[in-house]
Homo-oligomer: A and B are copies of this chain.
Amino acid sequence: MIIVMQASAKEHEVEHVVTSLKNAGLGVHLSEGEFRTIIGAIGDEKLVRALGLEALPFVEKVLPITQPFKLVSREFQAEDSIFQIGNCTIGGNQVILMAGPCAVESEEQLLAAAEGVKAAGAQILRGGAFKPRTSPYSFQGLEEEGLKLLARVREKTGLPIVTEVMDQYTVELVAEYADIIQVGTRNMQNFYMLRELGKLQKPILLKRGLSATIEEWLMAAEYIMAGGNHQVILCERGIRTFETYTRNTLDLSAVPVVKHLTHLPVIVDPSHGTGNWRFVPAMSRAAVAAGADGVMVEVHPQPEKALCDGAQSLTIEKFTALSKELAELAAVLGKYI
């Protein structure tokens, strides 16, 4: 940590900071510049944070030097994490396609979607059972009944399922059914829930919050890993910006950044990222080319009948064409689907 003093800080105020650091067991390096004094604190940054030095009126700012996360970092583990899910692996050379409807609506709908995406090459089925919505007047999901339908369709098709959990109290319930548990964008910092997920030994798909920095996203992953569950899959799904033509701005640069900083796999959700089926194929290709370990795509047998997010769903026909393109792309990159 670097403590930058106010230009007007007096000698005894500098001394106050130095003593606080030393009392906390930290090394101190003092540097007196032309305008201000800079204090370098040598040792564990957590100890410095606990001192609350920013609250002192003679301290201008406190600058961290190292990343606040550990277990997720490349320093902690240099080689890529690879997780086994059913017959496929994520984080290695396989490109994973997770596909299916936004919300589970009925067995017919889900089975039609599942069979369609499986035939097209998808390895994992997605579908939401809990769908709390912005408007109190909209469809809110089939809840446990939806989880049962997912399990039934998994049995029929052999596709592992990824589905979302909404709070810490339903973690156990969802874990009973899901092969991968999804943390939605609004729950990325639901720390009570992250703590429960940390106790499982099951892959967690952690979506980036709508306005979360990459650092905050990785801290959420750290939360889960600190609890003992090291199977975290990151999922970029668009951030909020001033652009209104797309629903969100898909931040694909997060893919190489995350690959640089961490050993965790990262997938991309271009359906929520763009909010418009027209742009999903292009952004899926871009995600794979950027190095993503997979994509998560909304597919509905009849998008215009969807109870949720039809505007961003591909038909099975369009998804089939996309899957073929992605397979060719993966091959050029030394990967496969």
Chain A residues engaging chain B, CB cutoff 8 angstroms: 2, 4, 7, 29, 31, 33, 35-36, 38, 40, 42, 46, 49, 51-56, 63, 65-66, 68, 74-75, 132-138, 140, 166-169, 186, 189-192, 194-195, 210-211, 213-216, 219, 222-223, 226-227, 239-246, 249-257, 259-260, 273-274, 277-279, 282-283, 285-291, 303-306, 310-311, 313, 328-329, 331-333
14 of the cross-chain contacts (CB-CB < 8 Å) are: A31-B40, A33-B42, A35-B75, A36-B75, A134-B189, A134-B216, A136-B227, A186-B186, A186-B190, A241-B249, A243-B254, A285-B291, A286-B289, A329-B329
Instruction: Choose from B68, B75, B311, B333 the contact partner of A55 (Cβ within 8 Å).
Output: B311
In the complex, the answer to whether A53 meets B216 with C-beta atoms within 8 Å is no
CB-based nearest B residue for A291: B282
Contacts of A137 in B (CB 8 A): 46, 226
Using known A-B contacts A54-B310, A168-B167, A211-B210, determine if residue A252 contacts B255 with beta carbons closer than 8 Å. no
CB-based nearest B residue for A46: B137
Copies of this chain: 4
CB-based nearest B residue for A188: B186
In the complex, the answer to whether A214 meets B167 with C-beta atoms within 8 Å is no
The 3 closest A-B pairs by CB, nearest first: A211-B211, A132-B191, A54-B311
In the complex, the answer to whether B133 meets A191 with C-beta atoms within 8 Å is yes
In the complex, the answer to whether A285 meets B274 with C-beta atoms within 8 Å is no
Minimum C-beta distance from A192 to chain B (A): 6
Minimum C-beta distance from A113 to chain B (A): 14
Using known A-B contacts A213-B244, A279-B253, determine if residue A36 contacts B290 with beta carbons closer than 8 Å. no
In the complex, the answer to whether A282 meets B255 with C-beta atoms within 8 Å is yes
A277–B55 alpha-carbon span in the complex (Å):
8
Minimum C-beta distance from A61 to chain B (A): 9
CB-based nearest B residue for A78: B8
In the complex, the answer to whether A52 meets B304 with C-beta atoms within 8 Å is yes
